[in-house]
Structure 1
């Protein structure tokens, strides 16, 4: 039979396991089917990084336009640059410089 000190150890162990289980699923993933998580595509932050990889230094605006991100900003020479990025794949669809 487990006395008080033993009960405390069992309780602490049970609480620890519950915390570990809670950490396995983030709040944004709870209740979201795996297929929907995969179809969500790239985030605005990822789109901005892709635009930077294309030469954008300053991001002035980012908009979700249907199936693509439209990122507007300026390059290192101060020229306007617009990058359109496919949301599902992260592929650059178009780069325009003015």
Structure 2
């Protein structure tokens, strides 16, 4: 089982990875696609994450056109999920 320091290190690494990817994301997703002007709210992104098995959200942030969610599943495993802020689909 990972201790608090280990979890914080993992989240710091996740944050660093997100920060490094931000320029690429901003070039392609700052503007909504044609016909998709409404953005998914944080509450909506959390509901989608819960449906995909995240039971405890540890970090959630919107970056450009996506919600990036880090959390844990029912068994305590770390999970990361990227959700389109425009239509709620799960991104790779």
With normalisation by structure 1, the TM-score equals 0.55
Structure 1, unaligned runs of 5 or more? 1-34
Determine which structure has greater relative contact order: mean sequence separation of CA pairs < 8 Å that are 6+ residues apart, divided by chain length. Answer: 2
1:8-19 matched pairs, under 5 angstroms: none
Deviation at 1:40, TM superposition (A): 3.2
Structure 2, unaligned runs of 5 or more? 1-34
Name segments (4+ residues, structure 1) moved above 3 Å: none
With normalisation by structure 2, the TM-score equals 0.59
Q: Which structure has the larger Rg over C-alpha atoms?
A: 1
**Structure with more strand by fraction:** 1
| C-alpha RMSD of matched pairs (Å) | 1.5
Name the counterpart of 2:72.
Answer: 74
